[in-house]
Structure 1
Amino acid sequence: MDLTGHPTDFVVGASFPEGMRRFVRLGRQRWPGMFLSHHAQPLHAATVSGVRASSPEGEAAVEGTGLLLSEYYAVSIVAPEDPDTDPFSRSVVDDFLASFVGPTAAPV
């Protein structure tokens, strides 16, 4: 079976296992697919952009900085439609984000 839909991709650090437990505990299990891969090698990005934090100061402290993770997970939440236009798909992505950082204030 080939999964189809609109992917929303994330890179998640070492908090992934606990965040996933919270995501599943939400009892929603409404997503049609989720793909992940664990990468035990470092990840580096020259510039971080599009930062969302719990405060404007937190966003300003990280926006434009470099990124270095010792290991990470690449996660793709596959929802039926584009989360920017479909409320159900948005709720799936919001559930995932809330499992790691709390409720979202704006679309990804």
Structure 2
Amino acid sequence: MEITGFGTDFLIDFSFGERVVRFIEAQRERWPSLYFGGVPVAESFGAEWQLEIDPDAKYSEILTFSSGAEMEEFWEDSGYSLDVNGEGPFSIFYQFHRSRIGARLQGIEAADHEVATAADGVELLMSEFFLVSLVTPADPAEDEFSRSVLADFRRVFEG
């Protein structure tokens, strides 16, 4: 099977769990018949839903999104591809880590210019974080649908 899809990777703090709930809710607005985790969202997501976190997991966990049963079948046959409507299934792969990670920050993007300037060149240290990959059907730089999914993902981290 040919690997399909385009991954956009992130390193995210512990707020990922609450932010992903917002992302799921945004996808319910995108697709009223949303399938989450391969089943209708009403069966897989509710007020008590929480992100599964296994610090000992050897492999990434996955959250899957599709417009409904038809797209689930399309996904099985075509992988991460765009359908005739220019939309396609997508997922979030994530893995929680409890280990020190550090980096020197450069080229900071922030809504507040003063924060971006102050943070440029500082050393970032984290002891708990998620490595996350948003996998869309196509490169968001080249595809409007994939770009809109990525924009939704980024938007849940605003405030």
TM-score category (smaller protein): 0.7 to 0.9
1:51 is matched with 108
2:24 is matched with 24
Deviation at 1:51, TM superposition (A): 1.7
Higher relative contact order (CA 8 A, sep 6+): 1
Normalising by structure 2, report the TM-score. Answer: 0.58
Partner secondary structure for residue 101 of structure 1: coil
State the one-letter code of the partner of 2:19. G
1:106 is matched with none
Q: Deviations over 1:50-91 (max 9, x none)?
A: 321111111111122111011100000011111112111111
2:94 is matched with 36
2:8 is matched with 8
CA RMSD, Structure 1 to Structure 2 (Å) = 1.8
Deviation at 1:17, TM superposition (A): 0.6
5 Å-filtered alignment, 1:51-70, equals 51-70=108-127
Distance in 2 separating the partners of 1:92 and 1:15:
19
1:71 is matched with 128
Q: State whether structure 2 residue 138 is matched by structure 1 residue 81.
A: yes
Percentage of identical aligned residues: 40
**Contact persistence 1:3–1:33 (CA under 8 A):** no
Partner secondary structure for residue 19 of structure 1: helix
Distance in 2 separating the partners of 1:2 and 1:36:
22
Distance in 2 separating the partners of 1:2 and 1:61:
44
Normalising by structure 1, report the TM-score. Answer: 0.83
- Flag structure 1 segments of 5+ consecutive residues without an equivalent: 103-108
